[in-house]
Amino acid sequence: MANPLTPDICVIGAGSGGLSVAAAAAAFGVPVVLIEKGAMGGDCLNFGCVPSKAIIAAAKHAEAMRNGAGFGIGNIEPEIDFAAVNRHVHAVIAAIAPNDSVGRFTALGVHVIKAEARFTDAGTVVAGDVEVRARRFVIATGSSPTIPSIPGLDGVPYLTNETLFDLVERPQHLVVIGGGPVGLEMAQAHRRLGSAVTVIEAATALGAEDPEMAAVVLRRLRAEGVAIHEATTVKSVERQGETGIRVNIEDNHGAAAIDGTHLLVATGRTANIEGLGLDKAGIAFDANGIKVSNKLRTANSRVYAIGDVAGPLRFTHVAGYHAGLVVRALLFRLPARENRRIIPRVTFTDPELAHVGLTEAEAAQKYGPVSVLRWPYAENDRAQTELKTEGHIKLLAGRRGRILGVSIAGANAGEMINMWALALAKNMTVGDVAAYMPPYPTMGEIGRRGAIAYFVEVARKPLVRSVIRWLRNFG
């Protein structure tokens, strides 16, 4: 090999987190090497967030055409050109791709190596015919779809998020294994684009969410014609005819079979650690990914791991958050600790489901009785004008009104959760939120009204009422 590269930082993986670390280091004039064996931009750009939201947007337009009568506009069944939808998805990817390209990062001053990386010892990585001996390493290799051990699965064609967006013909009947966010987002999108859709979930659909809030989403999906089977085990998969698939299931009613034309496996994600040579670098890992401290440091003090590979919160914005923490530590020697309590998440169904902080069950377990505050979309004037009255906000408040967690099920929940993520990050109270003034008419008023509900409870307390009666004596 030629003389080794000796940058300050070597980043392995050019997804959201890795790109953020590399760009920040280069911006401050720090020598940085970025290694990526696959497509620049990682899963989010090429197979995940971007294409999935593009197809969801197309499906949302189709559904709006079907439901204009409430506004005095005739309902129209849209003509869907699935190949054109596919072109829209890939046009969006192509529009964003230059921001993550080799050319752009090279221009920023990043030394980009397109090859597979592996550690050969605690301080050396080899990528192709290049050896890198960096002061610090950041592993940001992301994750891949988890493929469950289902008899017959390896003998039938199936889709994952890495292949779903290659379809140019609409599935006649899409069968989805997995009732988590990805499975349900794609189920609803394809149903709205004209496919029959069946979802099979071994436990509870959207099981990581507050059941009360998840129920809002599941009701809508079922009303739109998505068949959702919960507490259902997939026993085996087999071919059905020349082009079809059969999924053999079992639930508390017994055994049954579901026939479809396409099968989507959406059963979670697995950290990409294979081939990295972690053992040789003294980096601890398990089935969930690389083990890190709350400072995102691995067992090898020279190596950090961020994003999906460091799990368990596998979201693009988490990778970006991790990148910011690592940059603080590497460039400025500032203390930086991960705080999972402030990280929001969104399921981009329609209605959306957004959450940050503790759920009601988690808050009760940690703090005992807490105040549970709700406000419905139906009481919001803007929601009424747009006929988006389905859903509500749910706030959890602890002692002195400190905000512990927020869930929103309804239109624009993914945008509305932003303020609440800031509120938790700053340890705000419901009083702080009740004191701000959103413009009228906006859906942001829903959250403020929920916060004000806390004081309605306070107003009912006998001691407070006694004080008010006494204060009336002073005019």
The response to whether 166 counts as a known ligand-binding position is no
The response to whether 388 counts as a known ligand-binding position is no
The response to whether 396 counts as a known ligand-binding position is no
Same domain, 24 and 126: yes
Same domain, 17 and 127: yes
What are the residues whose beta carbons fall under 8 Å from the beta carbon of 242, sequence distance 6 or more?
Answer: none
Alpha helices (runs of H) in 97-239, residue ranges in sequence order: 102-108, 181-192, 211-223
The response to whether 362 counts as a known ligand-binding position is no
pLDDT value of position 205: 98
The response to whether 183 counts as a known ligand-binding position is yes
Amino acid identity of residue 196, one-letter, is: A
What average pLDDT does the structure give for the chain? Answer: 95
Q: Hey, which residues does 117 pair with through a beta bridge?
A: 127
Does residue 112 lie in a domain region?
Answer: yes
Last residue of a domain, one of 267, 293, 317: 267
Same domain, 286 and 167: no
CATH assignment at residue 223: 3.50.50.60
Angle between helices 82-96 and 49-66 (to 10 degrees): 140
The response to whether 368 counts as a known ligand-binding position is no
Same domain, 138 and 283: yes
Same domain, 109 and 183: no
Same domain, 64 and 157: no
The response to whether 53 counts as a known ligand-binding position is yes
The response to whether 143 counts as a known ligand-binding position is yes
Does residue 471 lie in a domain region?
Answer: no
pLDDT value of position 459: 63
Q: Hey, which residues does 305 pair with through a beta bridge?
A: 139
Cα–Cα distance measured from residue 14 to residue 31, given in angstroms and rounded to the nearest whole number? 16
Burial pattern 120-133, b for ≥16 Cβ within 10 A else e, equals eeebbbbbeebbbe
Regions of the chain where pLDDT drops below 70: 1-2, 457-460, 463-465, 467-468, 471, 475
Cα–Cα distance measured from residue 115 to residue 137, given in angstroms and rounded to the nearest whole number? 16
Q: What are the Cα distances from residue 57, in Å, to 62, 187, 231?
A: 9, 14, 30
Same domain, 335 and 415: no
The response to whether 171 counts as a known ligand-binding position is no
Instruction: Give pLDDT tens digits for 144-170.
Output: 999 999 999 999 999 999 999 999 999
Last residue of a domain, one of 267, 285, 300: 267
The response to whether 180 counts as a known ligand-binding position is yes
Which residues span the domain enclosing 191?
Answer: 153-267
The response to whether 181 counts as a known ligand-binding position is yes
Same domain, 256 and 375: no
Same domain, 179 and 286: no
Q: How many domains does the chain have?
A: 3
What are the residues whose beta carbons fall under 8 Å from the beta carbon of 357, sequence distance 6 or more?
Answer: 341, 342, 396, 403, 404, 405, 406, 420, 424
Last residue of a domain, one of 340, 365, 386: 340
The response to whether 217 counts as a known ligand-binding position is no
The response to whether 244 counts as a known ligand-binding position is no
What are the residues whose beta carbons fall under 8 Å from the beta carbon of 191, sequence distance 6 or more?
Answer: 59, 197, 221, 224, 225, 226
Q: What are the Cα distances from residue 242, in Å, to 57, 239, 246, 261?
A: 33, 7, 12, 10
Same domain, 453 and 376: yes
